[in-house]
A and B are shown apart, each in its own frame.
Chain A
Amino acid sequence: MTELKPGSRWKSAVCDTEAVLVRPPATGAVPECGGVAMLPSASTRHGGTVAPGFDGGSELGKRYADAATGMEMLCVKAGPGSLGVEGRVLQRLEAKKLPSSD
């Protein structure tokens, strides 16, 4: 079982989505995608479908977070399933505009 630690890589059990765990959830819950628990990246998918309400999609290079558990994930491969935890869809974090580089 992949440890819930920063940098651990996860793949959706039901779609192409892949993500890196940036901040682990305080509760120890397993990340979800498409309403189903994600798999460690080395695992084989066994099929299934994205559940209704968890089909908003995950976008490459975007960060997603859950305020209740503190979990945060970075999508490294896009897919139709939404990232989630404990039955909730993660919220996409919008990067704050920066004026210039130093």
Chain B
Amino acid sequence: MQAKSMPSCAAPYAGLKVIEIADDVGGEHLGRLLAEMGAEVTKIEPSDGAASRRIGPFAKGQEGPETSLHFWYYNSNKRSVVLDLATNAMSALATFLRDADILVISAQPRRLAAMELDLETLSDRYRQLIIASVTPFGMEGPYADYKSSSLVGLAAGGPLMSCGYDDHSIPPINPGGDQAYHTVTAFAHIGVLLALLHRQKTGCGQVIDVSMHGANAVNVELANPYWFYPRVRIHRQTCRHAQPSPTQSALFQCADGRYVYYTLILSDTRTFNSFVGWMEEKGMAGPLTDPEYQDVCYRQENFHEIQSLVECFFLCHDSHEMYHGGQQRGLPVGVLNVPEDLFEDEHLAARGFFVKVDMGEDVGEVLYPGQGYRFSAFEGVPRTRAPHLGEHGAASRPRLAEEIDSKEYGE
């Protein structure tokens, strides 16, 4: 959508100051979401950099703190300040938290204790500060200090059991893309917005304790309602919802070897007729134009025959012809892309989704995913590269944060 009028307001989070102490995706992604809508996000890192700087793959295959693609993605539009928080973090952070609106922190209780950082005390000291604690298991409970990962989050929270294939001799499959962390980030983002509204009314910040385990436990689609009400387990299926009993395949191979996704809903006569009309145009409707197929019960009874003809129909045509032909008829046919296809995707290209970001002399320009949101009333925020380690200030004790504050931070 093109903005109908010129934006009249600064970016949604412009003016918000965020301090981020995070080295996993849960916290880093929240920081990025805030940064890409205009907040000034300062990432505090140890002198050897956040752990996420050591996650590959690396640009040009050269491993180092400035070349992690993982770090680039989750830390664009941020600032980096090096500060030792291993102990006595409360006083080290004083300068940064004095005028901060939000603290994003992913440290678990044991590490917080080692840092001598107590979130409730912080909250008491900085009354307006919103503290978003984004951790694997939350700040209390028997697992609070357990190590985790996106895969552990998906497994322990339940979603993983629904991810995989029809063939249950194959174990569950990690869907990838740090989805457990993205889930908790979405919850944390909503929490931060609610806390901002609360602060607007009361002037008070608060501590938000967001657990990846908890967020994923309520992100299991049909598993919870089926268990809560009829006490039925659901079973994973290839590329479709996990269900109590198997449903038909929704993936269809096409003549060019690629797949499209289409779910035939038999109960919808209009959609059925639209699809059959399309098959008839191509001379492949077979018996589906017979009057008895107008009866939903007959369709259900002969579903296997219908599905078989639909399979043939897709097998005889190229995927993009099916994708666009289906969409023109109001049928939700989708082509299965591999990620690299998206650089050539005409729709994303028309919307200017990928943007060039200058990564500096060594790397040059690279394509980043652009803005997730487009507001007609707010200014957009240009995507900028992830910061170099300590690019916006560095201090080793006894050089104190005060020094950074006066010389580098916030200028």
> Residues of A at under 8 Å CB distance from B?
5-7, 9, 20-23, 60-61, 63, 72, 74-76, 93, 95-102
> Residues of B at under 8 Å CB distance from A?
240-241, 243, 245-248, 250, 255, 263-267, 282-284, 286-288, 300, 303-305, 307-309, 312, 315-317
The reply to whether A61 and B255 form a contact with Cβ atoms under 8 Å apart is: no
The reply to whether A96 and B304 form a contact with Cβ atoms under 8 Å apart is: yes
Given contacts A7-B316, A20-B283, A20-B316, contact A95 B264 (CB under 8 A): no
Given contacts A7-B255, A63-B308, A95-B308, contact A101 B266 (CB under 8 A): yes
Of A60, A76, A97, A102, which one neighbours B265 at CB under 8 angstroms?
A: A102
Q: Besides A7-B282, A101-B263, 20 other CB < 8 A contacts? A: A6-B255, A6-B316, A7-B316, A20-B312, A22-B315, A61-B309, A74-B286, A74-B309, A93-B308, A98-B304, A98-B307, A99-B245, A100-B247, A101-B247, A101-B266, A102-B240, A102-B241, A102-B248, A102-B250, A102-B265
Most buried by B among A7, A9, A21, A63: A7
**29 A-B pairs whose Cβ atoms sit less than 8 Å apart in the complex:** A6-B315, A6-B316, A7-B316, A7-B317, A20-B283, A22-B315, A22-B316, A23-B315, A60-B286, A61-B286, A61-B287, A61-B288, A61-B305, A61-B309, A74-B284, A74-B286, A74-B312, A75-B286, A76-B284, A76-B286, A95-B304, A95-B308, A97-B304, A98-B247, A98-B304, A101-B248, A101-B265, A101-B303, A102-B240
Interface of A, secondary structure class, is loop
Closest 6 A/B residue pairs (Cβ): A61-B286, A7-B316, A6-B255, A95-B304, A95-B308, A102-B247
Q: For the complex, give the distance between the alpha carbons of A5 and B317 in Å.
A: 10
Q: For the complex, give the distance between the alpha carbons of A100 and B300 in Å.
A: 7
Q: For the complex, give the distance between the alpha carbons of A97 and B248 in Å.
A: 10
List of B residues within 8 angstroms of A22 by Cβ: 312, 315-316
Of A5, A63, A99, which one neighbours B312 at CB under 8 angstroms?
A: A63
List of A residues within 8 angstroms of B267 by Cβ: 101
The reply to whether A98 and B303 form a contact with Cβ atoms under 8 Å apart is: yes
List of A residues within 8 angstroms of B316 by Cβ: 6-7, 20-22, 74
